[in-house]
Chain A
Amino acid sequence: MNPTARRIATGVLMALAVVTGIAAWLLRPQPVDDAFIGPMRSDYTLGNYSLVALDETGKEQFSVTGPQLDRDPLTETFTLDKPFFSFPQSAGGEWEARSEDAWISADGGEVRLTRDVEVLGAARPDRSRMRIESEQMTVFPRDDLATSETLVTITDRGSTMTGRGMRADLAARRVNLLAQTRTRYVPPRR
């Protein structure tokens, strides 16, 4: 093959190679966009509901009412909007709790309250009640236990206690503020 023909053949081959490369690049398998996986579709949603959770012995653990409750079919857990909880106390009376959002575990053994959490202790004979406020709190109804990892404010009669992190035994009204605590006590005016 004379040199001119060879150069033409080489050029054609190179052109073919380039075209093939471009075609291969264009026809490469497109990455599949992560299909938007939104929140699991509830298997049911209740509006203006009232729910009572019982323990294995049939005793009431807590009751809750609110505008909306969604159940996750996979985990069998519940998410609630603006719930109002009532936790009966063995010593009588009940604690009440409200928040913007809440989550309840499948067995009802754990209740997570988030955003504008307010808990009111059982009313005393003089009708006064301890109030606990925080942005996050977890209640374990069976153990009468409440915990928080964030800033907590406890108001009770003349005293105000603040601290970061809390463990509270609701039945014994025993509260432990874990760090950076401040108690302000207003003495009765003499």
Chain B
Amino acid sequence: RSSDREQDMIIDAASTEGELTDNGTVTFSGDVRMDQGTLRVRADDAVGTLRDGEIVRVVLTGAPARLQQEDDQGQPMDARAARIDYDLATDTAVLTGDVEIEQPRGNLRGERVVYDIATGRVRAGQEGGRVRMVIQPKSGQDS
């Protein structure tokens, strides 16, 4: 949801190590669970980047890492990828490596997908990578 970005972000992990300096990094290792409003990410490891003491980016990796969220209409989105690079400043998550995205309106596969955390919009294929999309047929009542 667009309100997710204003929620507290909670990151649980087996262990955490970091330089608590203004522009340091924090490494979360083992069974990483990141929650922020309806945004839920599960991964093996994650690295948070601080700028002026604020977390501005979180890169999560897993086999695969998984990102789930609801959009403002309550529609669920479920994505899997080897790597999820969440930029809090621009509210975008770049998913790379065997990306699979499932949404009620259809599924999408590719190597690199940019997901807008605020709007739920998905962009894929700009870098020439092949994208495969399956649009679900509208069921009888909808048409």
Contact = CB atoms under 8 A, between A and B. Distances in A.
Given A156-B53, A159-B55, A173-B20, A189 B6 contact: yes
Nearest to B9: A185
A49 to B, nearest CB: 32
A178 interface: yes
Contacts of A173: 19-21, 24
Contact of A187 (B8, B13, B16, B53): B8
B2 to A, nearest CB: 11
Interface in B59-98: 88
The listed residue with most B CB atoms (<10 A of its CB), out of A154, A159, A174, is A159
For the residues of A in contact with B, the DSSP-based class is strand
A181 B6 contact: no
Interface residues of B, number: 26
Contacts of A121: 20
A186 interface: yes
A58 interface: no
A183 B17 contact: no
A188 B7 CA distance: 10
A184 B10 contact: yes
Contacts of A128: 53
B42 to A, nearest CB: 15
A6 interface: no
Interface string A10-25: 0000000000000000
Interface in B1-35: 5-22, 24, 26, 28
Interface residues of A, number: 30
Given A156-B53, A173-B24, A187-B88, A182 B11 contact: yes
A186 B88 CA distance: 12
A159 B26 CA distance: 11
Interface in A102-149: 121, 124, 128, 130
Contact of A183 (B5, B10, B14, B53): B10
A178 B28 CA distance: 11
Contact of A130 (B20, B28, B54, B55): B20
B21 A182 contact: no
A150 interface: no
A40 interface: no
A187 B9 contact: yes
Interface of B: 5-22, 24, 26, 28, 48, 53-55, 88
17 contacts: A156-B53, A163-B15, A173-B19, A173-B24, A175-B20, A176-B16, A177-B17, A179-B14, A180-B14, A181-B28, A182-B12, A184-B8, A184-B10, A185-B9, A186-B8, A187-B8, A187-B88
